[in-house]
Structure 1
Amino acid sequence: MALTEKSAPYAHWEYVHPGSGDRLRIIPERGGLVSEWCCGGREVLYFDQQRYADPSKSIRGGIPVLFPICGNLPDDRLVVNGVAHTLAQHGFARDLPWVLQLLDDQSGIRLSLQSTGQTEAAYPFAFLLEMEVRPVDQALEISTTIHNRSADSMPFSFGLHPYFQVSDLSRTRLTGLADRCLNHLEMAAADTAPQLDRLPQGVDFLCQPNGPVTLIDDATGAQLQLQHQAPFDLSVVWTEPPRPMVCLEPWTGPRQALLSGDRKLVLDPGAQQTLTCRYAVL
């Protein structure tokens, strides 16, 4: 079987690609989380199992999903048609249970999340998210389709927050980023190069598109490349030392895009949009 339920080292579903043998571990009830991705016999993702075991704490690891916002809103407040709603940082998709299915051709898995009364209290729109995750030749392809099931136009942002293992932050590099960025720690424009020098001290910044972005672990020679497709082509870099990981995140829009309108996505009633990205092991 390509998809089986497992109890160790924690409760999850395991998908094994029938051709390559590459493996995914998925925890659908915890935000549709892909917690592990083993590619060519090497685990690519970082996952803190000890922290995960404490449900009162946010997850550190895997590939959390950010929807319907990336980042936070002032006072966690979203106003729609004159009504204020409380919408927490990065939205609610990473906290809710998703439905897991095997793709018909067994090439990967599908995770789906649809609106409920709980979600509409925070974000007053009816929606369906369908995320297909496929291990391909030395890569992971993620394609997400957002459906607007509302009678009104639906604004949103979408992002992924994957954690990647590195051996030593002081010997880690990123190439392909734009020269200028937005430093989230100060919410101010900055040069990118000094931010990259600070990976071991902790960074949080966003770059405009500048082609693929490559994460290089000089201690092991391992390289991982994020290959964007517009409009899913902003790059966010985040480190949290001493954790040996780098988050290299594709976002559609910056923080507070639903307020500023900067790269805000809007779906007409009944419309849908597909966002894709690819992580390649080089």
Structure 2
Amino acid sequence: MVLQQRREPYPHWEYTDPSGAEVLRVVPERGGLVTGWSSLGRDWLYFDAERFADPDLSVRGGIPVLFPICGGLPDGRLPLPQGVFTLAQHGFARDRAWELSALEGGDGVRLTLAHDPHTLAAFPFLFRLSLEYRLAPGQLGITAQVANAGEDPMPFSFGLHPYWAVDDLSAVRLEGLPAEGFDHHTMAPATLAAQLEALGEGVDLLAHPAGPVRLRGVAGGAAVTLEPDAPLDLVVLWTDPPRPMVCLEPWTAPRGALISGDRRLLVDPGGCCSLSCRYRVDRGWG
């Protein structure tokens, strides 16, 4: 296992597993962002390094982290018993500096984020969020631990926003999603068939699959499968044409959950909530 700091093609940390075949690239100071994953001889994640070089622009690529909300809030305002707070789209985790370390078992890395004066101004809870990325041939396992070190119950939502590189949006196929979901563009129910036809125009679909979801047509004609685990078992399908990528995202709750209560998670004082999912890539699928 090797964890080394690199300067090219952009400043990042690079983790290499003992075999040398699995590589994870991470920029902890930019939202704990995983910028690349190489496995089975190929890079699987889309990453816009030119846009990333401008810190004033939102990231397009890698695996951004969504916490303590997924999506946005009306006027960006979060009403809580402690008062009304302002939270930007997807929360603040993707904009904060994280701590990085190698896992003791030598099979991946751990990223950790804790409350600070900036987060407390937007989310008045003493929290500790850790993410563990474990690598195996063709597999990326992800576990999140959300701990509450405060004296009040802590509500939250959590999600990941992975960008998967594709060769051609028109050739993308999805398996495992239900026939109907919810269109975030129109804020109304929508059929999966109509959303798949519109991938090249841009889609933002929330769905609740009954099991794994396979995305066919990723780079090199392969497939990536998301294996969700409740409560991290909602899936968002998002495209941003003409970028050659598809986001296949696991979420715990829909937009506005901390206000509506729909699938809102709550951690008691001194408690901890564990969330997990896994991605598998297979070069044998077309």
Task: Write the letter of the residue equivalent to 1:55.
Answer: P
Q: Deviations over 1:170-199 (max 9, x none)?
A: 111111001110000011011111101111
Residue 251 in structure 1 maps to residue 246 in structure 2: no
Runs of 4+ in 1 over 3 A off after TM superposition: none
Task: Write the letter of the residue equivalent to 1:2.
Answer: V
Q: 8 Å contact 2:44–2:219 — kept in the other structure?
A: no
Residue 195 in structure 1 maps to residue 195 in structure 2: yes
Q: Deviations over 1:10-68 (max 9, x none)?
A: 00000001135210100000000000000111000000001001111000000000000
Following TM superposition, by how much is the alpha carbon of 1:219 offset from its aligned partner in structure 2, in angstroms? 8.2
TM alignment of 1:63-212, pairs within 5 A = 63-81=63-81, 83-212=83-212
Distance 1:156 1:6 in 2: 34
Alignment correspondent of 2:232: 232
Q: 8 Å contact 2:37–2:43 — kept in the other structure?
A: yes
Distance 2:159 2:10 in 1: 26
Following TM superposition, by how much is the alpha carbon of 1:82 offset from its aligned partner in structure 2, in angstroms? 5.4
Distance 1:209 1:217 in 2: 20
Q: Deviations over 1:82-125 (max 9, x none)?
A: 51111111000000000000111211000000001110100000
Following TM superposition, by how much is the alpha carbon of 1:137 offset from its aligned partner in structure 2, in angstroms? 2.6
Provide closer, same or farther for how the CA distance between residues 218 and 101 of structure 1 changes in structure 2, counting only shifts above 3 A.
Answer: closer
Q: 8 Å contact 2:165–2:218 — kept in the other structure?
A: no
Distance 1:126 1:218 in 2: 39
Provide closer, same or farther for how the CA distance between residues 218 and 151 of structure 1 changes in structure 2, counting only shifts above 3 A.
Answer: closer
Q: 8 Å contact 1:167–1:220 — kept in the other structure?
A: yes
Q: 8 Å contact 1:184–1:204 — kept in the other structure?
A: yes
Please provide the CA RMSD for this pair: 1.1
Alignment correspondent of 1:242: 242
Q: 8 Å contact 1:33–1:94 — kept in the other structure?
A: yes
TM-score, with length taken from structure 1: 0.98
Distance 2:115 2:128 in 1: 7
TM-score, with length taken from structure 2: 0.97
Alignment correspondent of 1:262: 262
Q: Which runs of 5+ in 1 are unaligned?
A: none
Following TM superposition, by how much is the alpha carbon of 1:209 offset from its aligned partner in structure 2, in angstroms? 2.5
Corresponding pairs, count = 282
SS in 1 for 2:236: strand
Task: Write the letter of the residue equivalent to 1:206.
Answer: L
Following TM superposition, by how much is the alpha carbon of 1:79 offset from its aligned partner in structure 2, in angstroms? 1.2
Task: Write the letter of the residue equivalent to 1:238.
Answer: W
Distance 1:154 1:112 in 2: 18
Following TM superposition, by how much is the alpha carbon of 1:81 offset from its aligned partner in structure 2, in angstroms? 1.2
Following TM superposition, by how much is the alpha carbon of 1:220 offset from its aligned partner in structure 2, in angstroms? 3.8
Q: 8 Å contact 2:161–2:247 — kept in the other structure?
A: yes
SS in 2 for 1:195: helix
SS in 2 for 1:119: helix
Distance 1:36 1:82 in 2: 39
Distance 1:69 1:256 in 2: 8
Q: 8 Å contact 1:2–1:18 — kept in the other structure?
A: yes
Residue 61 in structure 1 maps to residue 61 in structure 2: yes
Distance 1:20 1:200 in 2: 36
Q: 8 Å contact 1:171–1:219 — kept in the other structure?
A: no
Distance 1:77 1:219 in 2: 39
Structure 1 vs Structure 2: percent identity of aligned residues? Answer: 54
